[in-house]
């Protein structure tokens, strides 16, 4: 299917739209693992999320992508139970999210490791805190350190590791704890390009092995297409879902795959159009009634998000 789409990119037929490249969502059987229904959230006067509907099925890798301020992190934190949305419902396995729980684990951009504990001790500590016996925790820690290719660094302290290695420790710890859902907040954004690319390969390989349910936040459209089964494209002012797209490219994926590059270009074009439309909505009009009044004041800039229904 994707080869056919790539072939069509060079043809003279009707230009391809994003919907041609990203196959519409199939009807899925069974209940979703995560159900986000009509979720809205305000921070004072700012509408960070408006009427967001997303469902994630067991074993799906869903990427939330969009410009800064579109509410990706707010939505992720609401899934984690760290934020209580102002409106709507979020459930995991049919149970409403009312706070953080051991079924959901957040992975941050800056690995939150205990600096005085070694790599192995960081994993063992987290596993023991989850009620695992010492023997089981030791065994799992060793296995997951191996999985992220850090054997030989078990007794090393975090500050003696590179940023990429610290991220691998964080990933190993998260996977060893075996949450039902992994929530990742731009985990690779601070890494250099080469380390990032290694992390993409590693995460894809591990995900293909474990098929864990993952919600992954990123600014980077190409990263979202590289990793996601689905890409939820969000726009800002107010934070909302622009598109929810299914990606049917073979795995493991190549970031230079022409189909992926083309999809990425088209999504970025759509985001640019949404951004321009948002700016046009919030910009002061140039109509006569927007000109300075007799006292020289411009009418206040309409703040589109304020007062919008949640
Ligand atoms: N605690 C807060 N108090 C007030 N406003 C907030 C708070 N947290 C986020 N916001 C605002 O809500 C909006 C959405 O923020 P959020 O961090 O979810 O966006 P984002 O898409 O994750 O952005 P980025 O990619 O830059 O992290 C932004 O305008 C932000 O300034």
Q: What is the pLDDT of residue 237?
A: 85
Q: What is the pLDDT of residue 70?
A: 93
How far apart, in whole angstroms, are the C-alpha atoms of residue 64 and residue 221?
9
User: Average pLDDT of the chain?
Assistant: 82
Q: What is the pLDDT of residue 283?
A: 58
Q: What is the pLDDT of residue 29?
A: 56
Nearest atom (ligand 1) to Cα of 217: 22
pLDDT tens digit sequence for 129-164: 999 999 999 999 999 999 888 999 999 999 999 988
142 lines ligand 1 (CB under 6 A): no
CA of 77 to the centre of ligand 1 (A): 11
Nearest atom (ligand 1) to Cα of 66: 21
Whether the pLDDT of residue 86 is over 90: the answer is yes
- Of 69, 184, 190, 223, best ligand 1 pocket probe by most atoms within 8 Å of the beta carbon: 69
Whether the pLDDT of residue 3 is over 60: the answer is no
- Of 40, 43, 241, best ligand 1 pocket probe by most atoms within 8 Å of the beta carbon: 43
- pLDDT band for 287, please (50, 70, 90 cuts): very low
CA of 293 to the centre of ligand 1 (A): 35
The residue behind tokens 């949305």 is 85
Region 270-275 average pLDDT: 89
Bridge-based pairing of strands 240-246 and 230-235 is: antiparallel
CA of 140 to the centre of ligand 1 (A): 36
Which residues pair with residue 218 across a beta bridge?
A: 65
Per-residue CA distances from 154 to 130, 162, 219, 225 (Å): 20, 14, 32, 33
- pLDDT band for 123, please (50, 70, 90 cuts): very high
pLDDT tens digit sequence for 4-43: 444 444 343 444 444 444 444 444 557 899 999 999 999 9
Please, what is the angle between helix 134-147 and helix 163-176, to 10°?
A: 130
CATH number at 1-6+31-100+182-279: 3.40.50.300
State the burial class of residue 197 (Cβ atoms within 10 Å of its Cβ: 0-12, 13-18, 19+): middle
Whether the pLDDT of residue 292 is over 70: the answer is no
Task: Kindly list the strands in the beta sheet with 240-246, ordered across the sheet, starting from the edge strand earlier in the chain.
Answer: 104-107, 181-185, 213-218, 61-65, 230-235, 240-246
The residue behind tokens 């074009």 is 269
Region 77-81 average pLDDT: 96
Confidence (pTM)? 0.81
How far apart, in whole angstroms, are the C-alpha atoms of residue 195 and residue 293?
57
Q: What is the pLDDT of residue 205?
A: 87
How far apart, in whole angstroms, are the C-alpha atoms of residue 189 and residue 286?
40
How far apart, in whole angstroms, are the C-alpha atoms of residue 86 and residue 39?
8
State the distance between the two ends of the chain, measured CA to CA, in whole angstroms. Answer: 39
pLDDT tens digit sequence for 173-216: 999 999 999 999 998 888 888 888 988 988 998 898 889 999 99
Q: Are 141 and 153 in contact (CB under 8 A)?
A: no
On the question of a cis peptide bond just before residue 238, with omega within 30 degrees of 0, the verdict is yes
- pLDDT band for 263, please (50, 70, 90 cuts): very high
The residue behind tokens 């063992």 is 124
73 lines ligand 1 (CB under 6 A): yes
Whether the pLDDT of residue 289 is over 70: the answer is no
Which of the two residues, 114 and 25, has the higher pLDDT score? 114
Going by C-alpha positions, the residue among 142, 131, 151, 149 that lies closest to residue 176 is 142
Whether the pLDDT of residue 300 is over 70: the answer is no
The residue behind tokens 């949404």 is 274
CA of 67 to the centre of ligand 1 (A): 11
CA of 170 to the centre of ligand 1 (A): 24
Locate the domains of the chain by residue range. 1-6+31-100+182-279, 104-178
In three-state secondary structure terms, 13 is: coil
69 lines ligand 1 (CB under 6 A): yes
> How far from chain centre, in Å, is Cα 70?
12
Q: What is the pLDDT of residue 26?
A: 46
- Of 39, 47, 72, 216, best ligand 1 pocket probe by most atoms within 8 Å of the beta carbon: 72
């Amino acid at each position: 299917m994707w080869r056919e789409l790539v072939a069509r990119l060079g043809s003279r037929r009707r230009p391809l739209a994003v919907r041609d490249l990203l196959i519409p969502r199939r009807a899925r059987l069974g209940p979703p693992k995560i159900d986000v229904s009509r979720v809205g959230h305000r921070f004072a006067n700012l509408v960070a999320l408006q009427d967001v509907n997303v469902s994630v099925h067991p074993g799906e890798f869903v990427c939330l992508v969009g410009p800064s301020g579109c509410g990706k992190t707010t939505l992720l934190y609401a899934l984690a139970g760290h934020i209580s949305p102002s409106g709507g419902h979020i459930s995991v396995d049919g149970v409403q999210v009312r706070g953080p729980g051991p079924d959901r684990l957040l992975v941050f951009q800056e690995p939150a490791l205990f600096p005085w504990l070694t790599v192995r001790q960081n994993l063992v500590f987290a596993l023991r805190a989850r009620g695992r016996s010492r023997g089981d925790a030791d065994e799992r820690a060793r296995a997951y350190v191996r999985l992220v290719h850090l054997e030989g660094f078990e007794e090393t302290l975090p500050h003696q590791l590179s940023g990429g290695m610290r991220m691998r420790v964080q990933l190993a710890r998260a996977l060893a704890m075996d949450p039902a859902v992994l929530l990742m907040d731009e985990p690779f954004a601070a890494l250099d390009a080469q380390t990032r690319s290694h992390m993409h390969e590693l995460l894809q390989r591990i995900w293909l092995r474990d098929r864990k349910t993952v919600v992954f936040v990123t600014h980077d459209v190409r990263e979202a297409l590289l990793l996601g089964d689905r890409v939820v494209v969000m726009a800002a002012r107010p934070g909302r879902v622009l598109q929810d797209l299914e990606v049917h490219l073979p795995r493991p994926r190549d970031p230079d795959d022409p189909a992926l590059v083309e999809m990425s270009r088209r999504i970025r074009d759509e985001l640019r159009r949404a951004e321009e439309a948002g700016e046009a909505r919030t910009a002061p009009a140039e109509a006569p009634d927007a000109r300075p009044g007799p006292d020289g004041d411009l009418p206040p800039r309409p703040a589109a998000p304020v007062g919008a229904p949640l």
